[in-house]
Structure 1
Amino acid sequence: MSKRSRACDISDKVRKEVHARDGGCIFCRLGYMLPPEDEFTTTRNTLQIMHFIPRSQGGLGIPENLALGCIWHHNMLDNGNLGLHDDMMTIFEAYLRARHEGWDKNKLRYSKW
Structure 2
Amino acid sequence: MQYRTRKNMKFQFDEETRRTIYYRDDESCIFCRWQYHMENKDPMLYRTKDIMHYINKSQGGLGVPQNGAVGCRYHHMLLDNGSKGLRSEMIVIFKEYLMQQYPDWNEDELRYKKWNFPTFG
The TM-score with structure 1 as length reference comes to 0.92
Q: Distance in 2 between the 1:52 and 1:85 partners?
A: 11
Displacement of 1:9 in angstroms is 1.8
Q: Does 1:27 align with 2:34?
A: no
Equivalent residue, structure 1, for 2:12? 9
Unaligned runs of 5+ residues in structure 2 are: 117-121
Q: Distance in 1 between the 2:105 and 2:95 partners?
A: 9
Aligned pair count? Answer: 110
Equivalent residue, structure 1, for 2:89? 87
Equivalent residue, structure 2, for 1:101? 103
Unaligned runs of 5+ residues in structure 1 are: none
Equivalent residue, structure 2, for 1:48? 50
Q: SS of the residue aligned with 1:86?
A: helix
Displacement of 1:68 in angstroms is 0.6
Q: SS of the residue aligned with 1:67?
A: strand
Q: Distance in 2 between the 1:88 and 1:74 partners?
A: 10
Identity of aligned residues (%): 39
Select the structure that is richer in helix.
1
Q: Distance in 1 between the 2:104 and 2:39 partners?
A: 33
1:67-100: CA deviations, max 9, x gaps?
0100110000011111111000000000000001
Spell out structure 1 runs of 4+ moving beyond 2 A: none
1:39-89: CA deviations, max 9, x gaps?
1x2111100010000011110000000001001100000111111110000
Question: Which structure has the bigger radius of gyration?
Answer: 2
